[in-house]
Amino acid sequence: MNIPFLPFTRPSIDEETIAAVGEVLRSGWLTSGPKMQAFEAALSEYCGGRPVRAFNSGTATLEVALRLANVGQGDTPITTPLTWVATANVMLEVGATPAFVDVDPATRNIDLAKLDAAIKPSTKAILPVDLAGLPVDRQRLYEIAKRHGVRVIEDAAQSLGASSCGQRIGAIGDFVSFSFHANKNITTSEGGALALPPDADPALCERLRLQGVRRFPDGEMDVDVLGGKFNLTDIAAAIGLGQLKRLSEFTARRRHLARLYFERIDPKLGLELPPADFENSNWHMFQPLLPKNVNRGAFIAAMKERGIGVGVHYPALHLFSLYRQLGFKAGDFPVAEDIGRRIVTLPLFPAMSDTDVDRVCSALSAILGKP
């Protein structure tokens, strides 16, 4: 009997959401319209009433946040090297030069103990990343930012549904960027959202989202800033509305599956497991580190032979060719480099069964338990 392939992630789209997409298609209004506005309103309510604007990607939200924070040429915003490359690419897009701070070996997030020393006069903003849905300590982060007078643009692409210091991510703070890519905890197929602080102008955010256009009641228009083409479609928003209603359900299921991994992974295999945080993390991904003597490529291939998908999230981005050209090199951020070489993403998504976890753990034992 053929065993179905188990991917490392898969979105859960219910029939009600599929029907809602059909209604949008039949309505004739496919691009940004009433569904997008309803999605923004629902996100705003989730984020405690603060303004939230929807975008066609989480990358776009970061770029617009940088522009709203006046980060540009000559600035050196700080982030972690252990993230999807988009976090740094958007800095280059606005003319800034990324600066990196190594990660904490336990949390795998930016090492807040090293952050103070890295902040310079050219540091207008810090972009922390909640790797795998485990939030950076917001209280400590904002104390550092306040001390130096810099903005915070939270790359919360992976942490919708998570919390820090008793507050859900997005409810407080400066700029907060979410992603709704197909592999995120909720999806719009592709998309993102930006929660705005009180001093940010939502109307300017909207103009930066769509070509800088300002429209007037008499039909006239003007363009007063350089904007992009970042608007979210109503088709995507319809998916997002259905997904957002299930966020707490999805988060609870992910936490349950993560607990099973901790219970059932054989400690003799030598895997370094992530922090066992079941209060704050939304468990976007479950990411152990392979033993140093294990070849990751061979491990991934062996898991695939057993019908199990494994991801890599992420290699240390400063070692990519683009960033080596900027002067970064191996050895600059040794903790991130070590984690980036050994990290693997095991299957974790709401539709997984408990027996799927058993299947993954059995495969781990078969592959890593060999003498």
Average pLDDT over residues 31-47: 98
In this predicted structure, the answer to whether residue 294 has a pLDDT above a threshold of 80 is yes
pLDDT exceeding 70 applies to what percent of the chain? 99
Do the domain assignments include residue 92? Answer: yes
Last-in-domain residue among 244, 267, 296: 244
Do the domain assignments include residue 157? Answer: yes
Number of domains in the chain: 2
Do the domain assignments include residue 4? Answer: no
In the annotation, is 114 catalytic? no
Query: Both 187 and 273 in a single domain?
Result: no
What is the extent of the structural domain holding 174? Answer: 15-244
Query: Both 233 and 253 in a single domain?
Result: no
Do the domain assignments include residue 1? Answer: no
Which residues have CB under 8 Å from 276's CB, separation 6+?
A: 262
Average pLDDT over residues 69-78: 98
Query: Both 185 and 279 in a single domain?
Result: no
The enclosing domain of 292 has a CATH number of 3.90.1150.10
Average pLDDT over residues 35-46: 98
In this predicted structure, the answer to whether residue 371 has a pLDDT above a threshold of 80 is no
* CA 185 – CA 162 distance, rounded (Å): 10
Can you give the pLDDT at residue 307? 98
Average pLDDT over residues 229-237: 98
Can you give the pLDDT at residue 1? 54
Question: Residue 302: pLDDT band by 50, 70, 90 thresholds?
Answer: very high
Q: Indicate the average pLDDT of the chain.
A: 97
Question: Starting at the edge strand that comes first in sequence, how are the strands of the sheet with 78-79 ordered?
Answer: 52-55, 192-195, 175-179, 151-155, 125-127, 78-79, 99-100
Can you give the pLDDT at residue 2? 76
Q: Is the pTM of this model over 0.85?
A: yes
Query: Both 67 and 94 in a single domain?
Result: yes
Average pLDDT over residues 264-287: 98
Q: Could you tell me how many residues make up the chain?
A: 371
Average pLDDT over residues 103-115: 98
Query: Both 158 and 289 in a single domain?
Result: no
Do the domain assignments include residue 94? Answer: yes
In this predicted structure, the answer to whether residue 85 has a pLDDT above a threshold of 70 is yes
Do the domain assignments include residue 190? Answer: yes
Can you give the pLDDT at residue 61? 98
Q: How many other CB atoms are found less than 10 A from the CB of residue 4?
A: 7
Can you give the pLDDT at residue 3? 84
Helix (H, G, I), strand (E, B) or coil at 210: strand
Do the domain assignments include residue 300? Answer: yes
Query: Both 34 and 60 in a single domain?
Result: yes
In this predicted structure, the answer to whether residue 27 has a pLDDT above a threshold of 90 is yes
Do the domain assignments include residue 164? Answer: yes
Q: What does the pLDDT look like over 132-172, one tens digit per residue?
A: 999 999 999 999 999 999 999 999 999 999 999 999 999 99
Query: Both 230 and 93 in a single domain?
Result: yes
Query: Both 64 and 148 in a single domain?
Result: yes
Can you give the pLDDT at residue 58? 98
* CA 101 – CA 141 distance, rounded (Å): 13
Query: Both 119 and 219 in a single domain?
Result: yes
In this predicted structure, the answer to whether residue 264 has a pLDDT above a threshold of 60 is yes
Average pLDDT over residues 306-335: 98
Q: The tokens of 235 are what?
A: 């088709």
Query: Both 39 and 120 in a single domain?
Result: yes
The enclosing domain of 89 has a CATH number of 3.40.640.10
Query: Both 299 and 318 in a single domain?
Result: yes
Last-in-domain residue among 244, 272, 307: 244
Query: Both 280 and 240 in a single domain?
Result: no
* CA 90 – CA 93 distance, rounded (Å): 5
* CA 80 – CA 238 distance, rounded (Å): 33
Q: How many other CB atoms are found less than 10 A from the CB of residue 253?
A: 18
Last-in-domain residue among 213, 244, 275: 244
Catalytic residue among 124, 184, 268, 304: 184
In this predicted structure, the answer to whether residue 253 has a pLDDT above a threshold of 60 is yes
Q: Which of 20, 29, 51, 13 is nearest to 193 (CA)?
A: 51
Inter-residue contact 283 to 255 (CB < 8 Å): yes
Average pLDDT over residues 59-71: 98
